[in-house]
Structure formats: structure tokens, C-alpha cells
Amino acid sequence: NFVCCLRVEMFVFLSVPLKSISVQLHVRDHVASVHSSLQYVNEEDRPLEAMFVFPLPADAAICHFSAKIGEQEIVAEVQDKESARDQYDDAVSSGQQAFLLEESDESSDVFRLSVGCLSPGQNASITIVYVIELSIQVDHALRFCLPAVLNPRYTPAASAASVPEVSSACVIPYTLSLSVDVRSSDRISRLESSCPLDPLEFLDAQHTHAMVNLSAGHRFDKDVELLLYYENTHRSTAVVEAGAAAAQSGSLMGDPALMISLYPEFPAEVMSSLASQREFVFLVDRSGSMSWKMHHGKGAQKRIESARDTLLLLLKSLPMGCYFNIYGFGSCFECFFPQSVVYSEVTMEEALRRVKSMSADMGGTEILQPLKHIYSQPCYPDHPRQLFVFTDGEVWNTKEVLDLVKSQTFSHRCFSFGIGEGASTALVTGMAREGSGHAQFITGTDRMQPKVMQSLRFALQPAVDDISVDWTVPEGVMVDMLSPPISALFQGQRALIYAQIKGQVKAVNGLIISSLQTKYNMSIILCVSVIKKNCCAAWQPLLTPILCFILNCCNTCFTVFCINADPLSELISDGIPNLAITSLVRNLITVPAPRSADGTASTHLLNRSMITSIYLLPCTLEPEPRMDPLLRLVSLQKAAGCWELNAALADVFGKTEDEVTNHRPAQVDGSVWATVLALIWLRAYKLDQRVEWQFVAMKAASWVRSQKPDGLSQCVCEGNMLLGSQVTEDALGI
């Protein structure tokens, strides 16, 4: 997270001065401090004033920055931005050594480091320390990511004028070492990574302290992702950090700090009393980069394909009676419906039809205008708006976007998803933070669907609000809240409270009792032991003299090469027949082209006199990959929750329609039989993907109950015989 990044395409011929990165990760329960040391050398034959760009997580808090050149070490101090720039300029102009670290005006997850007067052959050592909360994943793991796509590049300061783009590098010229130290009040279950690690070493008998290192020889060509698992994920905990010994008592650093982690569980009667419908708005990135693969492994989907599958799952999981709409955005935007519509069989099928044709064909990434359009739409009474945002990029006006989301805090919740390596942490985490929602990142071989369905679960849950926090502490002790007031709590969604303890604390290992009071007259009592211690989909610009496009003639696909003077042998193998298609080529040939950068469609006209010869090559189209069986089953479900008994459903089960029909109990309706079979199949063969189909199954079970059918027990028995399973009737929830 501390490597430097500048536009690769602009500076590909410059040497890269970064030689090594050493990262030490210290995890304390849900918070991590990251110590990064970077070693640079000026390999130019002249003095250099260089600029390094450090992408940092948007919600990171930098607590230390220092730089060392030779024997001289400079430790940073916080100053007003303009004052710091003036002092830096004065130092450089007078030939003094100086450093300037500042947050980018354009994006809160980019820091610029200006280095003045780096002599030829001179080494520089940069140290940065920051603290960050670890995000929670679908399986309750805590996630830390050191992204490889933010690779170091540098340029003379005068050439860096804007937020650098995120680009993946093919050649990694520096070394990386990473060590992880974990201490927790809970037992550590395991630590996993997308990269090879040395064996996890436990340093105490209770398994609350462990260490691990990144294996030697790691090639930093993909994100280093760490997933930390604790045994008692949902237990509320509190951690106290003692004040600094050298600091004065009563000062910010001198008094102990407290972090309370809450996983609220509310009574069922409270949750049911708060139940309400929702309006769901899905905003999907359709810029050109969404045609890229999700990862570099075998069988990887394109990002837009994964987004389409996810929308299918979302649309099938929505409850009857809600409102919904889908937006696609790039350089421009479009919406499926003029305004959100009631969820029904008709509107769902119309939306699915349009989802199937969604492509990454809308140019750049401009999210501000579609957001303004969404927020301009009136909200439906008793249907709180839930906004789901899917994007793989970053935008130039991040702060303006976040200000807009923040201005709508009380009218909606925002759930954001960063797709692929390089998605802007400032944009993705910022939108979720300002929209009181949840942010997720889908990288490497992660599947998008389970993470999105976790957020849907959060979006469907009612919020418990009007929360007050009272502290019961010994006499002479006060508690000052450091974090913003909690505006809402959601069942099963972690909330952190930070506070500082002031006054005489006689026992560090004492007992703290905290009471959270809500307007529903519920008290959540927390008693805890206190412990120390982020050709291609869009054609390349048409090149002269070669023009390549596709003709569809007689349902056969041909690739057409239009050649001026270059010999065909440079492009295609010998022996290709020259087909006479004069009748197809009039005086003007219209060439379909992709959308231009501003999102508008364009057409190129080629005069026939420009063409020397035209060759048609039969083109073998790759067959469409067969849809995943789970998605095939989900795609067949009706909006109300049931399935119809037909050949398509039988094929999902690996049966013929006759086989499925002949096993149906006589007294059971065909749709009830089909729906029970679907529920059995999900339980028997897709239990490991339950997060993805949980709402589909809930709708189905609810529909079966509403039919009040006879012979359900026999139906389940026959279904198990047909599908070769042993699922109980109770497990189906029918």
C-alpha cells in the first residue's frame, strides 16, 4: 500500500528508483498498524527533484512519516498545506534537503511525496506508518490487502499534474518482504493469503498471539491479500491501549484509549416490528475496462459478465412489493425505467432481458451525473432507498462524488463494490461510509455474488436507531467519545466505538460495563474484560491502411480485411481465396465502430476507391459458456418465488422432463412439486453457496407455505428419491 505510482504509459522509458519494500503489519483485534520502509536510489547522472505518489487506503490515518538521506533524517510534522508548500519551495531553491508529503486535492487515497535535491547515486529511505480498521468479509474474515497494481513509478515534479492512474506492471524490479504480527483478545483460528506464506507460528498457549511471514522469493505480480479468522467472531469485545509513558497525563497521548467492537443481535419481535419494504437502485459501471477479466487465471469471467450474473441473482432475490431500477454508466448513463417500478413478474422479466444485453460499451467512468439523477428522483414513502454501486475504476472528482453521497445520507444507504485490482479505495469505501452502508472489494479469484448477497442481507434488515450510549465507570473516571455518534445499528453488522478514558484508572485489568439504549426500550449490556494491549472490448483506434470489421452474411460470421498496399502475407496465411463481394460493397462502405470516448456511437465511411482488395475469412465463434447450474436454476424462478415444472428445470437436475413429472405425487400441484425439488436440490448440492441462494430459497419456501398444499411430506420423500438426496422437511422451511 506504500508503493509509488505514476502513469506507466507516460514514463515507461524512465528507470525505477525503488529497490525494496519492507512491510511490518501489526494487527490488534480489528485494527492494524502498518509500518512500511521503502529504499530508493537516484540512478540518473544529475541531481533530481523527484515526486513519488503513495496510494494509501482512503480511511487510513497516517501517524508517522520520516525520510533519511545518508546520515540526515527528517521527521515530518503536520502543518497547514500552503505553509508547508512554501517552506518546501524555499528549502529546495536554497539547495537544502527537504521532503513534502501531502494528500492529493483530487483523491483522499493518494499522497504525494516531493523529494528535493537527490544527488546522483544517492540513496533515500522513506518510512510511513498508518493505522486502519480491517474490513469484514462474507465469511467473517478480517481482510488486509497490499495491492500490486499500484506499482512505483516516478517523474520529475514538474511533470506530475493530476491523480496518477492505476496500472498493472509486467516487470517487478524491486523486492518485497512482509511480516505479520497478530495479537487478539480472541483465539486466532487461522490466517490465509492469496500468496505463499510461511507456516503460522503461535507464540502463546492460548493462540491469541501469532506471527507469519510472506514466503521468500515472492514475485509481487498480484495483490497480497490476507484473511484473518478469529474463533468467536460475534462476541462483543473491548480493547484498551495504555497511554504513552512519556506523555503527560490528561493529554491526548497520555490517557488510555478504548475500542469496543459490537455485533448486535436483536430480539425477533423487535426486528419484525421494524420490517419494511425497500427501493433498490443498482448502478453498474459499463466503461470499457469492465470487459477485462476478473483475474489472470484459467476460466476467468469478464467483469461485465460477472456483473450480469450478479444482477440476475439480485433480481431474483428481491422481495415482492419492493421498488427497483437499474442504471448503467460510463461517459454517459442510461436507466432501465424512467423511475423505479414495483417489482413484479413483468418488470423483473423486462429487467432481465435488458441485463442480458449489457456490455462494457459506454466509454469512461463518469459516476457523478447518474448519481445526481438518482438522487433527484422522489423517494417512495415507507420504502427506504438502497443504492448498490458496482465499479472497477476511479474518477477524477472523488471528493465531489463523496460530498454528493453525504448530502443524501438521510434519504438512502449506499453499498459499494470495487471490482478487480485497482478500484479506487477512496471512492468505494468513501461512498459506503458517507452512505451508511458497506463496502466490498472483489479481487483475484473472489466471486462477486456472495459478497453482494451479504450486502443485500444488510440492506434488507431494518435499522435500530435513536441510540444513546451510557457508561458506568468507577468514581473519578470519565469517558470521552472519540468516534462519531452511532446513528444506526444493524443485526450482525459490526460497529466500532472509540473512546478515551480520563481520570484515575486504578486497575488496567478491570471491568467496564457499557449500556446502549434505543428508543425501543432495549438495553444491550456489554460486560467485557479489559485487555492491554482496496481485437479488445473497445476497439483500438482504426489504423491506416488496415481496417477490420465484422459482416454477418447468411448467418455466417466473416472477418473482413481491407488492405491498401500492404501484402496480405503480413496479416494472414497464404491460400485464402479472394472472394468477389463487389455486390456487397457499394460506392461507400459503412463500418460499425465502438462508442467514442464521450460515449456516443460513431460511424466511419470508407470510400470504395481506397480499397485495393477485400478478403473474407470464415471466423469460428467461441460457443457461449454453459451457465453455472445454480444460476440456471435461479434464472428459472418466478418473481413470486415458485418454479414451473418443465424441461429446463429438469435439465438443471440432470433429469428428463418425463422423469421429473412421473415422480410427482398425484395430489401435489406441478408448481409446488417443482419448487420443492428446487429447494431440495439447493440444500443437497449447493449448501456451500448458501449465501448466494438464501433469499431465493426464502421466497420459495414462503410461496409454498402460502399454497397450503396437501402431501408435503410425501412430496419431500419423492423428491429425495428422485434427486438421490436426504434432505429433511424441516430443513426446507416449508
Query: pLDDT digits over 78-120, tens only?
Result: 777 788 878 878 877 776 767 777 776 666 666 777 766 677 8
Task: Tell me the DSSP string of 515-528.
Answer: EEE-TTS-EEEEEE
Give the pLDDT band of residue 194 (cuts 50, 70, 90): confident
548 pLDDT higher than 80:
no
Question: What pLDDT, on the 0 to 100 scale, is given for residue 156?
Answer: 32
Maximum average pLDDT range among 53-57, 397-401, 568-572, 684-688: 684-688
Strand-pair category, 188-193 with 224-230: antiparallel
Give the pLDDT band of residue 574 (cuts 50, 70, 90): very low
Which residues make Cβ contacts (< 8 Å) with residue 628, sequence separation at least 6? Answer: 309
Half-sphere exposure of 728 (CA within 13 A, CB side): 2
Q: Are 125 and 37 in contact (CB under 8 A)?
A: yes
Question: What pLDDT, on the 0 to 100 scale, is given for residue 111?
Answer: 72
> What grid cell was written down for 425?
479505495
Question: What pLDDT, on the 0 to 100 scale, is given for residue 11?
Answer: 24
220 pLDDT higher than 80:
no
36 pLDDT higher than 60:
yes
**What integer is the mean pLDDT of 315-344?**
95
**Range with lowest mean pLDDT among 134-138, 195-199, 220-224, 592-596:** 592-596
For the chain, domains (ranges, CATH) are: 18-231 (2.60.40.1730), 238-267+470-529 (no CATH), 276-460 (3.40.50.410), 547-618 (no CATH), 629-732 (no CATH)
Q: Are 676 and 734 in contact (CB under 8 A)?
A: yes
Residues paired with residue 27 on neighbouring β-strands, in sequence order: 32, 182
535 pLDDT higher than 80:
no
**Range with lowest mean pLDDT among 14-18, 177-181, 238-242, 704-708:** 14-18
Gap between the Cα atoms of 280 and 282, Å rounded: 7
Question: What pLDDT, on the 0 to 100 scale, is given for residue 76?
Answer: 75
Query: pLDDT digits over 381-421, tens only?
Result: 889 999 999 998 777 788 899 999 999 988 899 999 999 87
Maximum average pLDDT range among 395-399, 490-494, 637-641: 637-641
Is-cis flag, bond preceding 164, omega within 30? no
> Vertex 244, ends 238 and 246: CA angle to 5°?
165
Question: What pLDDT, on the 0 to 100 scale, is given for residue 377?
Answer: 95
Query: pLDDT digits over 2-20, tens only?
Result: 333 222 222 222 344 677 7
Gap between the Cα atoms of 305 and 289, Å rounded: 12
Strand-pair category, 123-133 with 31-41: antiparallel
Query: pLDDT digits over 332-388, tens only?
Result: 999 999 999 999 999 999 999 999 999 999 988 899 999 999 999 999 988 999 999
61 pLDDT higher than 90:
no
Sign of the Cα pseudo-torsion (724, 725, 729, 734, in order) = negative
CA 539 to chain centre: 27
DSSP letter for 10, please. T
**What integer is the mean pLDDT of 535-553?**
28
Gap between the Cα atoms of 500 and 477, Å rounded: 10
Higher pLDDT, 596 or 117: 117
221 pLDDT higher than 70:
no
Q: Are 154 and 17 in contact (CB under 8 A)?
A: yes
Gap between the Cα atoms of 253 and 270, Å rounded: 41
Show the beta-strand stretches assigned E in 203-340: 209-213, 224-230, 237-241, 257-262, 279-285, 323-329, 333-335
Q: Are 457 and 474 in contact (CB under 8 A)?
A: no
Question: What pLDDT, on the 0 to 100 scale, is given for residue 531?
Answer: 28
Could you tell me the pTM of the whole model? Answer: 0.66
**What integer is the mean pLDDT of 298-306?**
89
298 pLDDT higher than 70:
yes
Question: What pLDDT, on the 0 to 100 scale, is given for residue 272?
Answer: 64
Question: What pLDDT, on the 0 to 100 scale, is given for residue 50?
Answer: 63
Percent of the chain with pLDDT over 90: 34
**Range with lowest mean pLDDT among 275-284, 396-405, 586-595, 690-699:** 586-595
